[in-house]
Copies of this chain bind each other. A is one copy, B any other.
Amino acid sequence: MAEGEGTPAPVSSSAIRMEADALNAFLAEAFPNSASGTRGRVVSAEPGRIVARQEPIETMLRPGGLISGPTQMGLADMAAYALVLAHIGPVAMAVTSALNYQFLRPCLPKPLTAEATLLRLGKRLAVMDVRLYTDDASRPVGQANVTYAIP
């Protein structure tokens, strides 16, 4: 009683409809109420993969001076959202349907990088893997699996 839904849409190399700059402009307009600095930015976008980054600010820290869990999960969600938009364009109203986050290592208060990759882009659901790290990509601080519903 189990497998993916319907025929998967191919993720071709021509699939990118928005570059990093366009994604950042879209996000800034969509979230005008975000406190300054609280929203990460897209660093690069290519077919099937996006990189986003967040500079930590004081309110993002938890006891011990580490970057808080909700901050990490928020960046993972933003990276996944940008990855979906990059492929389907700015018109669509995509919404998160699930976010599973594994906390792997203490997250030191350094610039936090998120790499999001497409596992599957279907007509109705997009499923993505997101890895978060500070200094060393081979030692991630967290890993997320994020599902977006596509309208």
Chain A residues in contact with chain B, CB under 8 A?
1-6, 8, 30-31, 33-35, 38, 58-59, 61-64, 66-74, 77-78, 81, 93-107, 119-120, 124-125, 127, 129, 139-143, 145, 147, 149, 151
Contacts and interface: CB of A to CB of B under 8 A. Distances in A.
Nearest to A76: B70
B78 A1 contact: yes
A99 to B, nearest CB: 5
- Which secondary structure dominates where chain A touches chain B? mixed
B105 A3 contact: yes
Contact of A2 (B58, B96, B127): B96
Contacts of A35: 35, 59
Contacts of A66: 3
B4 A95 contact: yes
Contact of A73 (B63, B73, B140, B141): B73
Nearest to A30: B63
A101 to B, nearest CB: 5
B145 A62 contact: no
A124 B95 CA distance: 14
B59 A34 contact: yes
Given A3-B72, A35-B59, 5 more contacts: A1-B69, A2-B77, A30-B62, A97-B103, A99-B103
A96 B34 contact: no
Contact of A81 (B1, B74, B81): B1
